[in-house]
Amino acid sequence: ASFRLLCFRTSLVAHLIFGLLLQPPLTHLSIVTQPNIVLLMADDLGIGDVGCYGNDTIRTPNIDRLAKEGVKLTQHIAAAPLCTPSRAAFLTGRYPLRSGMDAVNNYRVIFWNAGSGGLPPNETTFAKILQQQGYSTGLIGKWHQGVNCESRNDHCHHPLNHGFDYFYGMPFTLISDCQPTETPEMDRVFRRKLWLYTQMIGLVTLTAALGRLTGLISLRWKTLTCLAGFSLLFFVSWFSSYGFVRHWNCIMMRNHEVTEQPMVTDRTTSLILRESISFIERSKHKPFLLFLSFLHSHTPLLTTKKFLGRSHHGLYGDNVEEMDWMVGQVLDAIDKEGLKNTTLVYFASDHGGWLERQEGQRQLGGWNGIYRGGKAMGGWEGGIRVPGIFRWPGVLPAGTVIDEPTSLMDIYPTVVHLAGGVLPQDRVIDGRDLMPLLRGTVEHSEHEFLFHYCGIHLHAVRWHQKDSGAIWKAHYVTPVFHPPGAGACYDRGFCPCFGEGVTHHDPPLLFDLSRDPSEAEPLSADTEPLFDTVIRKIGRAVEEHRRTLTPVPEQLSLYNVVWKPYIVLWKPGLQPCCGTFPFCWCDKEGDN
């Protein structure tokens, strides 16, 4: 009997060992549990523009469906109030200041495809980590993180150099210059100055020539010729860039290849949707990451005829409703492929709506609901509080609403964790893994403090006092609104971060967002017993935060974004071109 028992045990151990040998490597096992990840990011969408956040006139049934089937965040915060720095923080999980992607000047975003600034190659995006974990990674739509560093084809800032296997979309951003029928948007005031200077120089040259011909002015023809040559050179130097903004900046690329220069805006929406669905279909057999970075709802509000005139909010509302329809098409594609229960879907905006964006009586920017301020304002809630929705059936509880401070930077550690990756250990990661909060296994966000920058300037700080539930917010700097009390900087088009257009506060303006989310009534030592305690606590947090900052190259310096201002405003040697520069003209989508 003991012999038979020994044989049985030996046989059992042998089977166990044999079975273990037949198991695939652990990395393969983890792939089975890795969800697909679809990140949907709107451009310039206000939190008040979405139905599930309180809008009852713009119809967003598909975004609302995501919230109904998933988790809605009501205090989801962008790390910056403008496109380039906000998206840099989103991709890296770090305040843009840490990567040099926040500005020291008034050029606060990437300004040209031919600039040399951009997301540094030594930054590790979540796409790069997911790529290493075996994911197929794709970016469809807007990039706005730079293209080249030193030559036209080095692609050092390009999506394919930052972890994406596939890219189709705009390396830049959509602007009104991309639509020939719209009023130019890019650097509008500066362009008017350049044109005025050109006219003045031309007038001086013409007056000198007439004076020389009539004998009223004693001037050598050689001097007059030099003056005329300077006038022509000045005009050509700035007009070669600003006169062809649509040609240089409004282009479409597939991977490293320019496919439309300039882009054909009538079909952009359909191409982006087609590429997104195609990526899902061809990537369905392994885990995939799709970052669909919408061109909606940025001006010039490209909207197909099917949606024109459908909303109660003019062209802007039409554009938002079309984007919502695109969200529905992507969700339908996920369902069609049987991927709904294995796919985490996330929807957000890169920052708040643009209040100042108007043409005559037309409001072309978004609405930020009850929140004060908007796009470009680093401190006020309207510039940084955005929609944030997660859906993963069977994993995240449907119909959940979470009113805890969260950040767009949190997507980084969240998706890296889900993919089985490891966060970089050689740098500060400011984001926090959201899965425990989303699943309801913890009550509070890991964020105690969030720092709200405008460029490199710290404008405000948020403190989540978890034991009391208070959300304190101290404003050190606020923009000066014009006209006074208007809630935005309508005289400038954007609110500035520094200089005469801001007010410094000492002591800081203090609000409790849990009681006053609109930031309407600042507290004082007379009205709030904890005023001094809160200000001291936030001050110490700022000191600690600043000790974690290290100097890095400024990617948005004047040299990197415009190069020799007032003379040549873009770097021809870095310009993406589908032909032989400067003859860059193609339409490969139209087979021309």
Task: Give the separation between CA 474 and CA 411, rounded to whole angstroms.
Answer: 25
Is the pLDDT at 17 greater than 60, yes or no?
no
Buried b (16+ CB within 10 A) or exposed e, 51-72: bbbebeebbbebbbbbbebbbb
Over residues 343-351, mean pLDDT:
98
Is the pLDDT at 37 greater than 70, yes or no?
yes
Q: What percent of the chain lies above the pLDDT cut of 70?
A: 92
Is the pLDDT at 3 greater than 70, yes or no?
no
Which pLDDT belongs to residue 85?
Answer: 98
Q: Which residues contact 87 (CB under 8 A, 6 or more apart)?
A: 41, 144, 145, 293, 350
Q: Which of 396, 344, 433 is nearest to 38 (CA)?
A: 344
Which pLDDT belongs to residue 234?
Answer: 80
Largest Cα span, the chain: 130
DSSP state for residue 489 in the 8-state scheme: B
Q: Where are the alpha helices (DSSP H) in 477-589?
A: 531-547, 558-561
User: pLDDT tens digits for 243-284?
Assistant: 788 989 999 999 999 999 999 999 999 999 999 999 999 999
* pLDDT top residue among 189 and 579: 579
Which pLDDT belongs to residue 72?
Answer: 98
Which pLDDT belongs to residue 4?
Answer: 46
Is the pLDDT at 565 greater than 70, yes or no?
no
Q: What percent of the chain lies above the pLDDT cut of 90?
A: 77
User: pLDDT tens digits for 446-476?
Assistant: 999 999 999 999 999 999 999 999 999 999 9
Q: Which residues contact 379 (CB under 8 A, 6 or more apart)?
A: 373, 452, 454, 459, 460, 475, 476, 477, 478
Catalytic residue among 7, 15, 28, 83: 83
Beta strands in 421-501 (DSSP E): 449-454, 457-465, 470-479
Catalytic residue among 28, 52, 76, 144: 144
Tokens of 262: 């300039």
User: pLDDT tens digits for 84-113?
Assistant: 999 999 999 999 999 999 988 888 999 899
Over residues 15-42, mean pLDDT:
59
User: pLDDT tens digits for 522-544?
Assistant: 999 999 999 999 999 999 999 99
Which pLDDT belongs to residue 591?
Answer: 59
For this structure, is 144 an active site residue? yes
Which pLDDT belongs to residue 11?
Answer: 52
CB 180 within 8 A of CB 287: no
For this structure, is 83 an active site residue? yes
Is the pLDDT at 518 greater than 50, yes or no?
yes
169 three-state secondary structure: strand
Q: Which of 522, 551, 546 is nearest to 535 (CA)?
A: 522
Is residue 524 exposed (0-12), middle (13-18) or buried (19+ Cβ within 10 Å)?
A: exposed
Which pLDDT belongs to residue 588?
Answer: 94
